[in-house]
Amino acid sequence: MPSLMIALTTLPSRDAAAALARHLVDARLAACVNILPACHSIYRWQGKVEAADEVLLIIKTSKTRQLALEQLICNMHPYELPELLYVPIAGGLNAYIQWIQQETLS
């Protein structure tokens, strides 16, 4: 199995999410980015419990693109500390796996 992963991040608006998703795909750092609206987050930040409506991005990428993906997200993200989590892809439809590899130049 190739070294592929899903990266997750949240943004404050659909426009910000769409702009970041477009940059990731244009730069071949992601094969595909799903934008899921209407996420409501409750979290502790700087000693206080906060709540915010956010947009979730599900980013399909390869391990070889992780550092560049992380740099782009940190540079473009409006949050002081962006959420960025990686989940390894353990398997999937072989043709889809190959497509992720091809589109991320891995």
Question: Which residue range forms the structural domain that includes residue 23?
Answer: 4-103
- Structural Rg of the chain based on CA atoms: 14
Residue 77's φ and ψ, nearest 5 degrees, are -75, 135
Q: For 14-66, what is each residue's pLDDT tens digit?
A: 999 999 999 999 999 999 999 998 899 999 999 999 999 999 999 999 999 99
Q: Tally the domains of the chain.
A: 1
CATH code assigned at 70:
3.30.70.120
The pLDDT assigned to 106 comes to 56
Residue 2, pLDDT score? 60
CA 38 to chain centre: 16
pLDDT confidence of residue 46: 96
What are the φ and ψ backbone dihedral angles of 49, each rounded to 5 degrees?
A: -85, 125
